Amino acid sequence: MSAPRTEKGRLQAAGKGLEYACWGPAPSDALTLVLLHEGLGCTALWRDFPQQLSEATGLGVFAYSRAGYGGSDPADLPRPLDYMTREATDVLPEVLDAAGIRRAVLVGHSDGATIAAIYGGSVQDHRVRGLALMAPHFFTEDMGLTEIAAAKVAYETTNLRDRMAKYHANPDNAFRGWNDSWLHPDFKAWNVSEVLDYIRVPILAIQGKQDQYGTLAQIEEIENRSYAPVDTLLLDDCRHAPFLEQPEAVLAGLTDFCARLEQIEAAPVAQ
């Protein structure tokens, strides 16, 4: 089997130049899986997952680096504490427009999953057919904040900055924008669970049972609050990065989820 079509470039959204990459069918030809990365992620740090996802589903995959990450323009610091909400409501709509997305499933990881959920519950966009949320967070938990504090120490005392510099043009901008927000004293009260009440498209929630940044309470929040159909995929021997630590299970779950979305869309409407 030949590798899916790939394309890389830059687009403009909310006054920033953002790098992007896409695999497989063009947005005009198929449903597109839009990948939203974690708090220290970028397009390159999805590694070979986008290509595998396109091959497994036969669908298009689109990924971009938010401002401050990868090769995108730097973010304005300090980030506001509602930066994920602003990313969802102010930036993501412009990204989808610039990319020519016609039908989409938002596939988010960590911060990206939260952004996807906020978009689904805050922005009326009929292009979005479903949400796949990997390791999402809707409120802070002490264990997660402890890990984020440990990351600050690692950034200041180990080679973490050098390792990040391989993927981020400005590693300080990437790290500080994420870490300073989460460790701000006022962020402990952050909670966006209300957005789950307004999501009206199917949700696939994915979480590792050993996730060091959040407990299964985050997934339970989706199940308890969502009026939309919710499927869950809870993975053993998996921490915060299911798509890297349990790729086969994640690919199978996403492939099945997308196939069912396509079946729903293809079903005749009762007259």
Provide the residue-wise pLDDT of the chain in tens; the chain has 271 residues: 455 678 999 999 999 999 999 999 999 899 999 999 999 999 999 999 999 999 999 999 999 999 999 999 999 999 999 999 999 999 999 999 999 999 999 999 999 999 999 999 999 999 999 999 999 999 999 999 999 999 999 999 999 999 999 999 999 999 999 999 999 999 999 999 999 999 999 999 999 999 999 999 999 999 999 999 999 999 999 999 999 999 999 999 999 999 999 988 887 765 5
Query: What would you measure as the largest C-alpha separation in the chain, in angstroms?
Result: 66
Q: Are 68 and 170 in contact (CB under 8 A)?
A: yes
The C-alpha atoms of residue 232 and residue 176 are separated, in whole angstroms, by: 32
The C-alpha atoms of residue 101 and residue 28 are separated, in whole angstroms, by: 7
For residue 39, what are the CA distances in angstroms to 20, 56, 66, 182, 270?
17, 26, 10, 10, 43
How many secondary structure helices (H) and strands (E) does the chain include? 10, 8
User: Any residues with CB less than 8 A from the CB of 124 and at least 6 apart, and which?
Assistant: none
pLDDT value at residue 36: 98
- C-alpha R_g of the chain: 18
Tokens of 87: 């990313």
**DSSP notation for 160-212:** HHHHHHTT-SSHHHHHHHHHHHHTSGGGGG-B-GGGGGG--S-EEEEEETT-S
Q: Are 60 and 54 in contact (CB under 8 A)?
A: yes
Bond into 242 cis (ω within 30): no
Q: Are 250 and 268 in contact (CB under 8 A)?
A: no
Instruction: Choose which CATH entry (3.75.10.10, 3.40.980.10, 3.10.450.50, 3.40.50.1820) describes domain 6-266.
Output: 3.40.50.1820
For the chain, domain boundaries: 6-266
The DSSP secondary-structure symbol of 38 reads -
User: Which amino acid, 33?
Assistant: L
